């Protein structure tokens, strides 16, 4: 994914060689022209990636989504593990479960690796944000300074904050937990009150690292997902080890035919939506809804992708004191700092509703710790 991001904002070889049609890149809402020609420090654009995985009943693992913008949730398994350890230390003594307490160390290594000289900071929208707990927790654990947009300021070509003594200190790496459009009101959305004016001007000059880089949304766009196996082959000359869910682009005539033929067996996703919104199961629609949907797909084929419905393995959860099976997925955290480091834990998200496939916490999903067993 880092090869793709470096290429797509510079030479665009993958477009010129016809692997990805240009409109899939430029019409993606995650594509930012402001990032054209900007080289991130050490060439890394996706420092912290959240890869959502599911296992089907036949045992095959599938990648559902690559989250390369600001994947959240690493602090939840950390806290859950901590509580479990205290409640039942024997479980961990008797079983060979990989220790997950190194996440902060991995994150610090990742920040230090791209730091351009100065302190590491974690930029939060503030204490009213749903993930503020995680921001403050990770700052505490990594030794980074927790800041809001108002604490940071640019002077000439550098980024600074004032420490508790009122001394000006330079910032070398910003692990930002706010999205691209709010990052810098002078370069992105002018209405943003939580960003840092001129941050991106300093970044353009290579004087600060931003984790993850701006513009990464072009690579985890649902429409681009289809092309990821082709990307891996193109840049690395290798086939993917982990599969993509079988995906179809109505944009291609052949796939459009498949979508129309198998409409009742597929799930349709609006590429512009996230967080579990804009997901439609073909067999759940009324006749009228189905006709409307097909008309919409024909009118705007670029806007949708279709996927075969995979029969995922349900995981057991506790609901009202009862053990019940629910749909779930696993988010693996992959950090890039020269070497690629996979955290031996992860965030398992599940749907509370027995009939739902949607696990997103913004739609009422729950989470639990994930154990990696050592052999």
Partner 1 sequence: MSETDRQDVPAGAGESETVCSGPLEFEFFYEMQSEFDREIEGHNFRLMCFPADSQRQKVRSVSYEILPHAWLSEGRDSFGNLYVYGRADGRHSSFSVRVHGTVETGHSCFEAYEDGLSDLFRCSTPATAPGDFAAAYFRKIIPAEQEDYGTALYFMRRIHEDFSYQKGVSDTNTTSEQTFERKAGVCQDFAHALITLCRMAGIAARYAAGILEGEGETHAWTEILSGGKWYGLDPTNNCIVDSRYIKLSHGRDCRDCLVNRGIYFNPARETQKVHARAVMI
Asked if residue 321 binds partner 1 (CB under 8 A), the reply is: no
Asked if residue 300 binds partner 1 (CB under 8 A), the reply is: no
DSSP-H helix ranges across the chain = 2-8, 13-16, 22-26, 75-87, 89-94, 103-114, 132-142, 180-183, 199-204, 222-225, 228-236, 253-261, 287-299
Asked if residue 171 binds partner 1 (CB under 8 A), the reply is: no
Q: Of residues 58, 87, 93, 156, which one binds partner 1 by CB under 8 A? A: 156
Local structure of 122: helix, strand or coil: strand
Asked if residue 34 binds partner 1 (CB under 8 A), the reply is: yes
* Residue of 374, 329, 368, 345 lying closest to 105 (CA atoms): 345
What the block records as the tokens of 375 is 């052999």
- The residues that bridge with 331 in the sheet, in sequence order, are 52, 347
- For CA atoms 106, 112, 115, 118, give the dihedral sign: positive
> DSSP letter at 353?
S
Q: What angle is formed at CA 237 by the lines to CA 233 and CA 242, rounded to 5 degrees?
A: 50
What part of residues 348-367 is at the interface with partner 1 (CB under 8 A)? none
Q: Of residues 112, 151, 181, 201, which one binds partner 1 by CB under 8 A? A: 201
What the block records as the tokens of 71 is 């994947």
Asked if residue 166 binds partner 1 (CB under 8 A), the reply is: no
Q: Of residues 144, 154, 271, 305, which one binds partner 1 by CB under 8 A? A: 154
Asked if residue 44 binds partner 1 (CB under 8 A), the reply is: no
Question: How many Å separate Cα 368 from the centre of its chain?
Answer: 18
Q: Report the nearest approach of partner 1 to the CB of residue 157 (Å).
A: 6
Asked if residue 311 binds partner 1 (CB under 8 A), the reply is: no
Size of the site for partner 1 (CB under 8 A): 29
Asked if residue 338 binds partner 1 (CB under 8 A), the reply is: no
Q: Report the nearest approach of partner 1 to the CB of residue 27 (Å).
A: 6
Asked if residue 82 binds partner 1 (CB under 8 A), the reply is: no
Asked if residue 314 binds partner 1 (CB under 8 A), the reply is: no
Question: How many Å separate Cα 320 from the centre of its chain?
Answer: 31
Nearer to partner 1, 34 or 181 (CB): 34
Local structure of 295: helix, strand or coil: helix
Asked if residue 181 binds partner 1 (CB under 8 A), the reply is: no
Q: What angle is formed at CA 342 by the lines to CA 114 and CA 85, rounded to 5 degrees?
A: 115
Q: Of residues 73, 118, 172, 185, which one binds partner 1 by CB under 8 A? A: 185
Kindly report the number of other CB atoms within 10 A of residue 276's CB atom.
Answer: 18
Q: Of residues 1, 5, 38, 78, which one binds partner 1 by CB under 8 A? A: 38
Asked if residue 205 binds partner 1 (CB under 8 A), the reply is: yes
Gap between the Cα atoms of 28 and 349, Å rounded: 27
Q: Report the nearest approach of partner 1 to the CB of residue 198 (Å).
A: 6
Asked if residue 299 binds partner 1 (CB under 8 A), the reply is: no
């Amino acid at each position: 994914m880092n090869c793709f991001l470096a290429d797509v904002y510079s030479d665009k070889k993958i477009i010129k060689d016809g692997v990805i049609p240009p409109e899939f890149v430029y019409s993606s809402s995650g594509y930012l022209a402001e990032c054209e020609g900007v080289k991130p420090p050490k060439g890394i654009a996706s420092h912290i990636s959240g890869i959502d995985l599911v296992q089907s009943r036949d045992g095959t693992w599938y990648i559902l989504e690559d989250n390369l913008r600001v994947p959240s949730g690493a602090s939840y398994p950390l806290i859950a593990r901590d509580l479990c350890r205290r409640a039942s230390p024997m479980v961990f003594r008797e079983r060979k479960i990989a220790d997950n307490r190194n996440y902060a160390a991995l994150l610090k290594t990742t920040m230090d690796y791209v730091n351009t000289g100065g302190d590491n900071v974690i930029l939060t929208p503030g204490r009213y944000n749903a993930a503020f707990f995680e921001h403050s927790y990770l700052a505490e654990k990594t030794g980074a300074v927790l800041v809001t947009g108002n604490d940071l300021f640019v002077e000439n070509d550098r980024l600074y904050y004032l420490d508790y003594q009122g001394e000006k200190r330079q910032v070398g790496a910003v692990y930002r937990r706010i999205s691209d459009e709010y990052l810098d009101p002078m370069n992105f959305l002018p209405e943003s009150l939580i960003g840092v004016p001129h941050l991106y001007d300093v970044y353009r000059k290579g004087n600060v690292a931003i984790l993850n880089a701006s513009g990464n949304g072009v690579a985890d766009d649902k429409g681009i997902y289809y092309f990821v196996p082709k990307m891996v082959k193109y840049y690395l000359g290798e086939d993917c080890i982990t599969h993509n869910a079988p995906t179809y682009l109505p944009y291609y005539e052949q796939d459009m035919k498949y979508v129309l033929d198998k409409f009742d067996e597929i799930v349709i996703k609006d590429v512009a939506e996230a967080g579990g919104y804009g997901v439609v199961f073909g067999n759940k629609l009324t006749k009228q809804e189905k006709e409307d949907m097909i008309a919409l797909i024909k009118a705007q084929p670029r806007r949708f992708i279709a996927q075969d419905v995979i029969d995922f393995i349900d995981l057991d959860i506790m609901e009202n004191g009862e053990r019940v099976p629910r749909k779930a997925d696993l988010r693996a955290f992959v950090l890039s700092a020269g070497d690629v480091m996979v955290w031996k834990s992860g965030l398992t998200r599940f749907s509370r509703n027995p009939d739902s496939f949607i696990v997103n916490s913004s739609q009422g999903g729950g989470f639990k710790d994930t154990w990696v067993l050592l052999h």
